[in-house]
Amino acid sequence: MIAAITGTSGHVGASLSRSLLAAGERVRLLVHEDTRALEDLSAERVQADLTDPHSLRRAFEDVEIVFHLAASISLDRRHVETLRRINIEGTRHVIQACRDCSVRRLVHFSSIEALADLNPRKATDENNPLAGPGDTTLYGWTKAEAERLVLQAAADSLDAVILSPTAILGPYDFKPSHLGRSLLDLYHKRLPALIHGGFNWVDVRDVVDGTLAAAQLGHRGERYILGGTWRSLPEMAALVKETTGRETARAVLPVWLARTAAAIAGGLPALSSKYPAFTPDALVAIGKHRKISCEKAERELGYKPRPLEQTLRDTFSWFREQGLLEE
């Protein structure tokens, strides 16, 4: 079997590639520009671009299963065209390339943000509707539109399953990711204040385990939520202090004040980062999906996320090995 992976330079892609190779599978790594996450891997590499259908058809030749992880992730609404081009049109091209190359199964990565959270008193599960443009972040809406394309393709005979992970942390975060940078910002005291609100946090290794199980056991056209533990940002700051012994930001802003400031400034930046820590869309995201059910993945895939405390210990240990905790 040959498994092709898009998004190999990303956090999940780096971890999934290693797990498949460790299991002795033949893996074809689709690369675009950034290859830092792949430098120590011995696997076939193919240059490909989600905006170039021909490159995807070439990359999927003789492939049995495609893991489509690549996406543009941004909580900055100025990036609307990139989000649309990569997340929606790129997924359309992946679907067509899978059809053209007779790929047996597509495992598509969506996001918890693609699901509408219309009733905060009810746990989000796979029965929640896909979000519309007013129900989520711009990123979440583009992932919802991409998921609609995959669901339609599955209804039309393409064997595709969909995964909806929550906020991912863990080792092998080479770039680092947006969430990895948030942990580092907490550690290095780059956040001037914290915000009430939070995320459901999940370990990248548990997401990879769920992905491999879905490739074998998932049912066509079905969605599986891969989540972990909800913690507020102040609670995460306390856990980071407990894990590393470092003091973190103490001031906590109410969400209404943060939203007002972000709307005026376009985002509240970290002290030493080019990335805004709290954009208007980020403030939407931290207020959604406080209650999440992973019962379907647990029942059908054997999914079992590990404790968040273990994830944080291992993540900071990996950051330390990479020299990212140096002053």
By DSSP bridging, strand 252-253 and strand 194-195 are parallel
Q: Is the dihedral of CA 80, 81, 87, 92 positive or negative?
A: positive
Task: Report CA dihedral (210, 213, 218, 224) to the nearest 10 degrees.
Answer: -10
Q: CA 207 to CA 165: how far, in whole Å? A: 7
Q: So what's the pLDDT on residue 278?
A: 55
Q: Residue 314: how many CB atoms within 10 A of its CB?
A: 18
pTM value is 0.92
Per-residue pLDDT of the chain (327 residues; tens, 9 = 90+): 899 999 999 999 999 999 999 999 999 999 988 888 898 899 999 999 999 999 999 999 999 999 999 999 876 767 789 999 999 999 999 999 999 999 999 999 999 999 999 888 899 999 999 999 888 889 999 999 999 999 999 999 999 999 999 999 999 999 999 899 989 988 998 877 788 788 999 999 999 999 999 999 999 999 999 999 999 989 999 999 999 999 887 677 665 445 544 444 444 454 444 444 556 667 677 778 899 999 999 999 999 999 999 999 999 999 999 999 976
The residue count of the chain comes to: 327
**Is residue 194 situated within a structural domain?**
no
**Is residue 280 situated within a structural domain?**
no
**Is residue 327 situated within a structural domain?**
no
Outline where 62-203 has alpha helix (H): 80-83, 90-100, 138-155, 178-187
**Is residue 233 situated within a structural domain?**
no
Backbone angles phi, psi at 16, to 5 degrees: -65, -40
Number of separate domains in the chain: 1
**Is residue 264 situated within a structural domain?**
no
* Single-letter amino acid, residue 85: R
**Is residue 240 situated within a structural domain?**
no
- Helices then strands, each counted (H, E), the chain: 12, 14
Q: What domain range includes position 93?
A: 2-176+201-228+290-305
CATH number at residue 86: 3.40.50.720
**Is residue 123 situated within a structural domain?**
yes
**Is residue 86 situated within a structural domain?**
yes
